[in-house]
Amino acid sequence: MDYQTLQVRYQGPICFIRFHRPEANNTINDRFVQECLHILTICEETANVVVLEGLPEVFCFGADFQELQEKWSSHPNDVHDPEPLYTIWLKLALGPYVSVAHVRGKVNAGGVGFVAASDIVIADETAQFSLSEMLFGLYPACVLPFLIRRVGFQRAHYLTLTTQQITASQAAAWGLVDAYEAQSDGLLRKHLLRLRRLSKAGITSYKSYVASLDDGLQTAKVQALNANKMMFSLSRNQEGIIRYVNTGKFPWEDD
């Protein structure tokens, strides 16, 4: 596949997937979702380890509001479908490979979903994490099952309500980040030296066993998808997002 939003390379049993939409702050659009699903499905057969990376300044900044605005302008009744993105996160959490998020720079909204769904999270000191959905009358319905699994209810609740950024050190203290250093490239290499020794059969068996211990992500799926669809179908939320794209003003700001 000719990827437009990703840069993909293999190094032995390791697949490196770099999010690459520099013109759009590494936001998530339909093409991005399609390409992530495609390569992760291939990795189920071809990779023991999957490493997700972004740009130095931004890992992933959540939904592409520009694309949503264009959709709603031409198709007001268009129904946003969050299932493909939720499926990507399920693949990272439950798939037959070790998923590693290598985080530098800003991570927001749906970007936090990629981090929370990964088996291992490595960051450098520039990493910052936030959930901005509540600023637009939304909430991170699909992110929360993965985030709560990682950091617990109250910390996920706090991030959702405050919409504030937390640093790499704070995220590490909370369990969202597993390890961080000033320069994370060396830290990533150290982890991969060990992870590449694991067999595909061993990883597959272990991930299947872990999934059997807690089926919360699958159980939460229908409720999360329904909540997400409802939020994005409300005209007041659509109008707030369209106004933000067109003017840069948040819903609470006067014209």
Say which of 53, 64, 119, 124 is annotated catalytic.
64
Q: How far is CA 139 from CA 29, 62, 231, 242, 245, in A?
A: 18, 12, 8, 17, 19
Q: How far is CA 64 from CA 98, 199, 231, in A?
A: 28, 37, 16
Residue with tokens 């910052």: 128
Helices (H), 14-64: 30-46
Whether residue 133 lies in the annotated active site: yes
Tokens of 192: 């991969």
Say which of 119, 124, 133, 178 is annotated catalytic.
133
Cα–Cα distance measured from residue 153 to residue 124, given in angstroms and rounded to the nearest whole number:
25
Q: How far, in whole angstroms, is CA 36 from its chain's centroid? A: 11
Whether residue 254 lies in the annotated active site: no
Tokens of 16: 């490196």
Q: Active-site positions?
A: 64, 133
